[in-house]
Structure 1
Amino acid sequence: MIRLPLLLGCLALSNIVQAEEHDKELSSIVLPALNAISDQTSISGLSSGGFMAAQYHIAYSENLIGAGIIAGGPWNCVASIPGNDLTPKLVSATTTCMDPCKYSWFGCPESLYPNSRYLSELAKTEAERGSIARLENLSDDKVYIFSGLEDRTVKQVVVDQTLSFYKYLGLNESVIRYDNKTAAGHGFITDDLEDNSCGQTAKPWINNCGFSQARRLLEHIYGELEVDVAELSGELIKFDQTPFISGEYTSLDDIGYAYIPESCRSESCRVHVALHGCRQGHEFLGDRFVKGTGYNETADANQLIILYPQVKPSSIMPLNPRGCWDFWGYSSNSLPPYHYYKRSAPQMKAINQMVNRLISKPTNEL
């Protein structure tokens, strides 16, 4: 006679194996070539995804028309204190680029904030070296920036410097929208009553503040859009990310997601890259971020493909236990020479290759 605990254990193991096999089957799907429009791509992200969106925008601006940076600091933020090369990058990430006055006993002077003027000069130097795109490419881009008044994770004084950084690079205020008046905690904003209350900072870091942030940022980048659909017509695919991974310490997951409206299977559509924040990737939330942030509903009505690259947590080598995007250098195992902010960074290269796959023509048309 089989004892009940043993039977339950076998059933649980069977369910795990079936789930793993199901995931393996789904993740074997190849990201399709859809002949998407090559010069209409944009990117956005929350928190670490916001930092990455800012980095990617500066590094690959020739391929983009805009960026949305939600609770994120400026490009190469952890390098923003001139001459401060002795402080570990991770320490700078969690202080200067999140809570600058976390350990200050003498108030909160601006000298502790990210130095956006200095970063703009660094960007000019890196552009001259060719490690990032020419900064002239930014001149006609649209930028959406958001910081919640109740955000205690990435303080508003940090996000203020994102705005200043773009201004120092010559962007006119008319192309920048800075939303900084909403009493929101640290999270992505929706109008879904089932999400966290607006001022919360808690799992899944998706907050109901009475508006769709996905729509707001996409409309700022692309101009007036059609009304969001109530029922999706397209397909959310889980695809194999491994062909796009290079390097040992990328922390990129084996799987990624993409939402493809039905019309985009037969017509050329635009591409928007949406980056999750820390603890929001597949291994933490499943498809909660990719289904619950409102991007798909706007995309379906407006011929937009949404690409959702995924990062997974890792305890050591690299040290990334919360599954964050790399804005402090873990993709080089936190050792110099650092390249997290350059075009050569493995995560940025992977995103670019995924976009290139979507804008390429199907094989039978080549």
Structure 2
Amino acid sequence: MFHLLLIFSCWMLSSLAQAIDGEDSRATFVLPALNALSDQTSISGLSSGGFMAAQYHIAYSENLVGAGIIAGGPWNCVASIPGNDLTPKLVNATTTCMDPCKYSWFGCPKSLYPNSRYLSELAKTEAERGSIARLENLFDDKVYIFSGLKDRTVKQVVVDQTVSFYEYLELDGSAIRYDNSVAAGHGFITDDLENNQCGLTEKPWINNCGFSQARRLLEHIYGELEVDVKELSGELIKFDQTPFISGEYSSLDDIGYAYIPESCRSESCRVHVALHGCRQGHEFLGNRFVSGTGYNETADANQLIVLYPQVKPSSIMPLNPRGCWDFWGYSSNSLPPYHYYKRSAPQMKAINQMVNRLTSKPTNEL
């Protein structure tokens, strides 16, 4: 009897701790079908989420109107040095695509940077093969790109090549907004005084630089927006991601989040996908990223549903201890043939299926 009481007491304490934290590890919702607008979807992300946003934009551009890439490199960045197939993709990810001159003893020549011209030619080849969308779909899209002057994690010379990549694909210059003059560290930018100082790079990687980056990027993509709300009308749901997971190395978490404004329960709204960075997912920060980055306040005033897919950490198989989005190939267990940059990649397919769920009609209307 004593042992049963002890077990029950521990369970009660665990439940109480979850209630106090406002976080329950269980997913309590199915991602709903909301008849959202299928031709008004956009995506953004920070750091590894920025790399993924760039990959997803190129792979699924026929379904998107724009992308926000914050401290992220160009599509398929780790393949950007021609003839460098022998170097492990993870090494390329942490050097070429983050700090190209990290181990250079002879200055920092451009030959060490991501090769955006070469990547643009690779993209044309992959589009012809059908592994990514037709590149013409990009021509009416808007792209917001950001790099902080004090970012030592993903250096500005890398993000510069993201801009060049889109230019090589012949996007109109007015379609690209490049914010590269803010003295920000590596983090998502807000106007919330409770967040880190602007120039810092530390947990939770959400910084106060005096403006809402969520609003800035969404306004670049969608045009003039209504003023952000101060009190949310809608609901932040935690949903079950497992129906969207394929492959044994996807590293996708069992749960995801979505913010649904009250008006989007009865009207067709747009969808924005917001991707966290490394160590910012549910298992590291709970719902801090999904609640504290400003997306919801802009979305609530502008008929936008915000989808927050989640990645979890994994120590081995796949090797993803920081819960990053896959931009170097761990979803194929870091072995060829690689598909992380293609439509067939498990994380990309999952995001697309989640968006398709939101844009589909409720069952009782089919």
So what's the TM-score if we normalise by structure 1?
A: 0.96
Partner deviation per Cα, 1:119-160 (whole Å, 9 max, x = no partner): 000000000000000000000100000000000000000000
| Counterpart position of 2:146 | 146
Distance 1:120 1:242, change over 3 A: same
Q: Post-superposition, which runs of at least 4 consecutive aligned residues in structure 1 deviate over 4 A?
A: 7-13, 17-22
| Counterpart position of 2:119 | 119
Deviation at 1:9, TM superposition (A): 9.3
Deviation at 1:13, TM superposition (A): 5.1
1:249 aligns with 2:249: yes
1:162 aligns with 2:158: no
1:16 aligns with 2:44: no
Q: What are the residue-to-residue correspondences of 1:273-284 with 2, within 5 Å? A: 273-284=273-284
1:33 aligns with 2:30: no
Deviation at 1:12, TM superposition (A): 4.8
- Please state whether the residue corresponding to 1:51 is helix, strand or coil: helix
- Please state whether the residue corresponding to 2:118 is helix, strand or coil: helix
- Read off the aligned partner of 2:72 and give its amino acid letter: G
| Counterpart position of 2:47 | 47
Partner deviation per Cα, 1:93-123 (whole Å, 9 max, x = no partner): 0000000000000000000000000000000
| Counterpart position of 1:360 | 360
| Counterpart position of 2:56 | 56
For 1:8 and 1:125, the matched residues in 2 are separated by 63
For 1:326 and 1:155, the matched residues in 2 are separated by 19
For 2:11 and 2:103, the matched residues in 1 are separated by 47
Deviation at 1:29, TM superposition (A): 1.1
For 2:18 and 2:291, the matched residues in 1 are separated by 21
Partner deviation per Cα, 1:2-46 (whole Å, 9 max, x = no partner): 9xxxx999745543367689836x514100000000100000000
| Counterpart position of 1:218 | 218
| Counterpart position of 1:315 | 315
Partner deviation per Cα, 1:181-204 (whole Å, 9 max, x = no partner): 000000000000000000000000
Deviation at 1:172, TM superposition (A): 1.1
Deviation at 1:92, TM superposition (A): 0.2
For 1:342 and 1:357, the matched residues in 2 are separated by 21
For 1:348 and 1:205, the matched residues in 2 are separated by 24
- Please state whether the residue corresponding to 2:257 is helix, strand or coil: strand
| Counterpart position of 1:227 | 227
RMSD: 1.9
For 2:306 and 2:104, the matched residues in 1 are separated by 41
- Please state whether the residue corresponding to 2:355 is helix, strand or coil: helix
For 2:108 and 2:11, the matched residues in 1 are separated by 53
Structure 2 unmatched runs, 5+ = none
For 1:261 and 1:67, the matched residues in 2 are separated by 21
- Read off the aligned partner of 2:359 and give its amino acid letter: I
Percent identity, please: 88
| Counterpart position of 1:286 | 286
1:189 aligns with 2:189: yes
Distance 1:52 1:63, change over 3 A: same
- Please state whether the residue corresponding to 2:24 is helix, strand or coil: helix
For 2:59 and 2:236, the matched residues in 1 are separated by 28
For 1:41 and 1:61, the matched residues in 2 are separated by 10
For 2:317 and 2:15, the matched residues in 1 are separated by 27
For 2:87 and 2:315, the matched residues in 1 are separated by 21
- Equivalenced residues, count: 363
- Read off the aligned partner of 2:188 and give its amino acid letter: F
| Counterpart position of 2:70 | 70
For 1:230 and 1:167, the matched residues in 2 are separated by 38
So what's the TM-score if we normalise by structure 2?
A: 0.96
